[in-house]
Amino acid sequence: MNKAIKTKIHDLFVSQFKKEPSLYVMSPSRINIIGEHIDYLGGNVFPANINLYTYSAFAKSDVIEAYSANFPALNIKKVELKDNYEYDKELSFLNYVIGCYQILKKHGYKVGGFSLVIDSEIPTASGLSSSASFGVMVLKGIAQLYGIDISPVEIAKLFKEVENNFMNLKNGIMDQFIIANGKKDHLMLLNTSTLEFENFPIELGDYNFLVINSKKPRNLIESKYNDRVAETNEALSIINKKYNYKNLCSIPLSELDNVLALIDDEVIRRRTKYAIQEQSRVKDLIENLTNKNFKKCGEILNAAHNALKNDYEVSAEELDFVNEMGNKIDGVLGIRMTGAGFGGCLIALMHKDANDRFRKEIVEKYKEKFGYACEVYDVEVVNGTSCTE
């Protein structure tokens, strides 16, 4: 955390709580290069952390109280300490905070109350995993505040429980895992079934990734995200009346036609097709990235976006527009949505010489089409969540 940001967080904390903070935490956002929506299907994913952060300051307290600079109209949210909490829509962002506290207590960690100030530069509901950044930050902050040593892997598992069981979002573990464990200048291949992972250094040469924020927000809890989880569970249940696969992503691509033949419902067939083919695309992209075949990498990104649009149906008009128009710009190799979709962000792989041209043209054309501008971010790949006093 640089000095200017730390000073800002310190002053905000003192102004809100009239006391000094004892701990600071910074937590990055993430992009996923390939392997979308398959972390809850037991597949391999390929994410990285980027340099858009959630910042916070902590101090011990006899209550749980939090203030977010991003939602100042909500003022300080506060609850008394107790053994059990339930999700309360009126508590807004504090639900994540008390969910983190409760999961630590449930697992036997001796933690108490705290005061917390949050200031995030991650666009809300953008598909860059602002919620996982926030939750990993809170868990790591509480643990550090109370002198508890919890591994980054365990932090990721704990926040997945918070989202699944407290926030009722049936997501996988990718976001939490990369934000807690990511390494600077590396992409991570994560097996979401075993949590085994391998870091790949980023060596793009004259090429780079840009992030495009469509500025169309989405709320996963109120979206069709949980529907996709249910649909893919149904697919596996149908397939396993004949076979015995652990998850959809364990089905070899060579068996695609055989398993699709077992499914009568066209929607469930398309969800299944997407999951099996996307797992194959993860392998293909890593192979081509390692061999520096960036043109082929772009083709894989475009194929993944089209599958997310047509087979998994989690894209949006705004995302499809960026994919279509952006690919017409010279030097752009491929574009796809990143994150859960229904709005949010995309990533684009292009030659660095195309950056300025892409930024100018896509923003102008997008505003002309939708009446408001999208945003384009240069990004760096950074380390996971960290604490400092």
Could you give the angle at the alpha carbon of 364 between the alpha carbons of 125 and 34, nearest 5°?
45
CA 358/CA 329 separation, integer angstroms: 7
Place of tokens 């075949």: 293
Helix ranges restricted to H, 240-373: 256-260, 266-290, 294-310, 317-326, 355-370
Which of 39, 119, 175, 311 is catalytic? The answer is 175
Is 39 a catalytic site residue? no
Distance separating alpha carbons of residues 221 and 331, to the nearest angstrom:
37
Q: What single DSSP character describes residue 163?
A: I
DSSP symbol at 352: G
26 φ/ψ angles, rounded to the nearest 5 degrees: -125, 135
CA distances from 164 to 21, 35, 176, 198 (A): 31, 20, 12, 26
Dihedrals φ, ψ of 258, to 5°?
Answer: -65, -45
Do 140 and 153 form a contact (C-beta atoms < 8 A)? Answer: no
CA contacts within 13 A on the Cβ side of 119? 14
Using CA atoms, how far apart are residues 132 and 228, in angstroms rounded to an integer?
20
CA–CA distance, 171 with 248 (Å, rounded to integer): 15
DSSP state of 193: T
- 54 forms beta bridges with 27, 120
The rounded distance, in Å, linking the Cα atoms of 120 and 98 is 18
Cα dist. 156→28, 232, 302 in Å?
14, 23, 30
| Angle, CA 122 vertex, CA 214 and CA 159 arms, to 5° | 115
For the annotated catalytic residues, the residue numbers are 175
